[in-house]
Chain A
């Protein structure tokens, strides 16, 4: 190979890749507004991002898969855990994670900062990023739920979930709210015995829990609800 050919490889290789990269950068900027729902990116969300950086959250957690890998990914934390569970973890990690083998620091985050962090995580959870991460994929959550719907109408647990209005706080499939954790997530995390006890007295199991006690339900009714929830654990697509 001649010196000339070598220089040609250098310039053609570098400039073609650079042109492609800059061109796509320009086009990507045109797409960000729609893909991130920039219309919902208000001052509260920005304040939340500042708090997120102030407390160095990203050096333990990942978000969009980036950061440190020491704690759960936060991209869909709002959809997975819900607002109240997020608040509780930030405000009193020492209580929520008392039994956990991994701790989160108590950073004395101010109440208004917690509100903004929730705003930020709510906005992030709606970002359209080709359904990543897989463990929080809405498509996968809902696939299992849809499969269950036929049988669920017959299940006493499902009837109790409707009767007690659980979905005014929790999410299930396409329905429900994001105050508490999504049912499908609870199913992967807890067993029926644990949920049965939790329903009777949430405060006893998680100090500071916001959820009301369902002591009015009988032990067997609470077990039916628990069994309905744990039946959502299987997320394999049929």
Chain B
């Protein structure tokens, strides 16, 4: 840590990690609902839908708080100046966390906008927008005051503005269901395959420069190519969500072709990360690379390969809206964004705590990573089996939904069991991160 105000990042990381644990508890309850018959009396009070709204909103909230914390860590370093308004950053964290908690309590009492992932009622949406504006203003003012513009922070700021702007498309009430879903995907798809990828690429580039000592010019050059590929495939690739929403037929062509190319930039990122690690001139704790490479690999498998598997319209006609989607969604979010956040936490926290050369005691951390990752991979594979079964029984054979779900219940129990690995691993990671100690002196 070279600048005092970078310290505002830490409470963001702490809140994000606690919400992460809560998200996983909700996930376990959801998986439980899939194979066990929860009694009607319980369903009436706490239905699956409420648990699911909590699970997904917690995910979005903690990932975004993680991104914001990471940004507050990065910007002073990149601008070589203190953050413009550190107090505003704390106020923003309190506002957004408070809004999140209010939304969760509200869901329990049926206060919802009722649109998946965007359930937060309009009143609270306004608070989210205020929080986002506080954040963007803080970052932008810091950058413009310092007058030191780098490709990394340009990308980061562009990604964050893009992210905030897309959120607005999710706020209004749309009368026509097809138009509703059209713009719903401007939030969801243009986030995860657009804005969030920009943020990821920027944070990765920042970490690579710091961790490996590879020349900034080289990193930035590949950053441009990577972003060009991400946006080329990702923007028009939104079309793979428009196959069956009552949009014209040309979306089948455009969505199919562009999204078939979407694994390319992710593969590029994987190769780039690998190469940077090999050329690193600065020794780093082994766990740091376990996370960074783990992220690059699972990002490619979850988002790239699992996405590609059902993105062509000929296949998607049968797999759309089945557990195949669920499998892809879980592995992609984990590989791309959960591991990005955790990688960044492992990078930033030792530096925030002022450990010499950012080195820390790794013991326990490796267990956490492998439990968590093998849990999510196993869970996603079980969901994939469930999805293929559902696709065949319901979509190809034409069995009614509830009949076709029957054999799937077994596989959802396997998902549930893996959920314990995930939760256990996450608790180990959270404890390790929040009680990080300096590396033991050599020879001990």
Q: Which A residues are within 8 Å of any B CB, using their own CB?
A: 1-3, 6-7, 9-14, 16-18, 20-21, 24-25, 27-29, 31-32, 35-36, 38, 41, 45-46, 49-50, 52-60, 62-73, 94, 100-107, 124, 127-130, 132-135, 140, 185, 188-189, 235
Contact = CB atoms under 8 A, between A and B. Distances in A.
A128 to B, nearest CB: 6
Contacts of B396: 134
A10 B154 CA distance: 13
A53 to B, nearest CB: 3
Interface string B201-218: 000000000000000010
Nearest to B190: A21
A70 B52 contact: yes
Given A35-B246, A66-B181, A70-B48, A16 B232 contact: yes
Contacts of A64: 177-178, 181, 244-246, 321
A132 to B, nearest CB: 4
Nearest to A14: B231
Interface string B44-58: 100111101100000
B13 interface: no
B356 interface: no
Contact of A6 (B48, B112, B181, B224): B224
Contacts of A188: 398-400, 403
A99 to B, nearest CB: 10
B325 A69 contact: yes
Contacts of A185: 400
Nearest to B232: A13
A72 B401 contact: yes
Nearest to B53: A59
A62 B390 CA distance: 14
Given A56-B49, A133-B395, A35 B247 contact: yes
A96 to B, nearest CB: 11
Contacts of B228: 6, 9-14
B56 to A, nearest CB: 9
B48 A14 contact: no
B135 interface: no
Given A68-B49, A73-B321, A56 B119 contact: yes
A53 B40 contact: no
Given A32-B178, A66-B321, A135-B399, 8 more contacts: A3-B220, A21-B235, A28-B251, A35-B246, A38-B176, A49-B177, A59-B116, A60-B48
A134 B318 contact: yes
Given A60-B49, A66-B321, A70-B33, A189 B182 contact: no
Contacts of B181: 64, 66
21 contacts: A6-B221, A24-B251, A31-B247, A32-B176, A32-B182, A35-B178, A36-B177, A52-B114, A53-B113, A54-B114, A55-B114, A57-B114, A58-B115, A65-B320, A66-B181, A66-B184, A68-B116, A70-B33, A72-B401, A105-B47, A134-B398
Contact of A135 (B33, B244, B394): B394
Nearest to B178: A36
Contacts, number: 228
A35 B245 CA distance: 9
- Nearest 4 A/B pairs, CB to CB: A53-B114, A65-B321, A59-B49, A13-B232
Contacts of B345: none
A121 B240 CA distance: 24
B380 to A, nearest CB: 14
A206 B73 CA distance: 61
Contacts of B233: 17
A132 B243 contact: yes
A24 B52 contact: no
Nearest to A27: B248
A16 B239 CA distance: 15
B275 interface: no
Interface string B13-51: 000000000000000000001100111100110011110
Contacts of B48: 59-60, 68, 70
Nearest to A93: B40
B47 A132 contact: no
A73 B321 CA distance: 8
